[in-house]
């Protein structure tokens, strides 16, 4: 298990002070990987550096991403955060259940914009969704406060030297880049056979489809099997319509 495997991703952060405070939170608990997607402020700037205090190195080494998929493409597991329960079939964890996560893999913790949080589009890419337990009458947390709570919980997990059962069976899991490529292939194939109809339901169907596959931990072998199945069905559909 390694602190360097944990990536904190801020999606469309709006306040410089929050970005700086998030960097400080990471350094407080020995984390170094910060990605920022489409920030609403110039990055870096004086306010960010001022509120990061001694974490200028985190700011300097952080990565700016131009879209959400680019930010998670090399991740093995994506954990999204939300201040409310969504009416979708997401796989929820409590923050205490982070101990179930395999931190030997590359893990992304995603935080949404201060004003609105993550949309269902971003959540559809997540393996898990975590809602922090808060006052039901005042559930919205400050971005940096939310980040530091996750830093603290994961820090406690990574500092424990626990002997774990190791299976002799080895399999290589696909990363998010390969999974996104597969899902996009599937969407295009379904469009070709006219499955994603009617048009007004297409977006919702795509979100549900993406959510299904991003909740899975697929190995390379399993992905090849799925690709073979869908390619075969697509070819068969083509022969029947010709």
Retrieve residue 234's tokens. Answer: 């697509």
Class assignment of domain 3-158?
alpha beta
- Residues listed for the chain: 242
CA 57/CA 192 separation, integer angstroms: 48
Domain coordinates of the chain in residue numbers?
3-158, 176-241
CA 153/CA 39 separation, integer angstroms: 26
Q: Which of 116, 117, 129 is nearest to 89 (CA)?
A: 129
Question: φ, ψ for residue 39 (rounded to 5)?
Answer: -60, 145
Per-residue model confidence as pLDDT tens for the chain (242 residues): 689 999 999 999 999 999 999 999 999 999 999 999 999 999 999 999 999 999 999 999 999 999 999 999 999 999 999 887 777 788 999 999 999 999 999 999 999 999 999 999 999 999 999 999 889 889 889 999 999 999 999 999 998 754 454 655 567 889 999 999 999 999 998 998 888 999 999 999 999 999 999 998 899 999 999 989 988 887 776 665 65
Helices (H), the chain: 16-28, 46-52, 56-61, 68-72, 120-123, 143-158, 176-192, 199-214, 220-241
Give the tens place of pLDDT for each residue, 116-150. 999 999 999 999 999 998 898 898 899 999 999 99
CA 151/CA 144 separation, integer angstroms: 10
């Amino acid at each position: 298990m390694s602190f360097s495997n944990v990536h904190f991703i801020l999606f469309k952060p709006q306040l410089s002070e929050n970005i700086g405070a998030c960097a400080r939170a990471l350094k407080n608990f020995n984390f170094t990987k910060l990605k920022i997607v489409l920030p609403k402020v110039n990055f870096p700037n004086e306010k960010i550096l001022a509120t990061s205090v001694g974490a200028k190195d985190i700011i300097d080494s952080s990565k700016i991403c131009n879209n959400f998929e680019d930010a998670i493409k090399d991740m093995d597991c994506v954990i999204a955060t939300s201040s409310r329960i969504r009416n979708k079939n997401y796989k929820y964890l409590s923050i205490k259940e982070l101990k179930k996560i395999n931190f030997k893999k590359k893990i992304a913790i995603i935080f949404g914009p201060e004003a609105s949080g993550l949309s269902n589009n971003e959540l559809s890419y997540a393996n898990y969704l975590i809602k922090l337990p808060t006052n039901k009458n005042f559930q919205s947390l400050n971005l940096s406060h939310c980040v530091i709570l996750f830093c603290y919980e994961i820090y406690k997990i990574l500092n424990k030297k626990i002997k774990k059962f190791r299976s002799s069976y080895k399999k290589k899991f696909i990363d998010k880049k390969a999974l996104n490529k597969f899902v996009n292939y599937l969407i295009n194939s379904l469009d070709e056979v006219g499955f994603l109809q009617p048009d007004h339901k297409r977006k919702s169907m795509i979100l549900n489809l993406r959510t299904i596959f991003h909740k899975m931990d697929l190995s390379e072998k399993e992905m090849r099997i799925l690709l073979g199945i869908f390619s075969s069905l697509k070819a068969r559909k083509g022969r029947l319509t010709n």
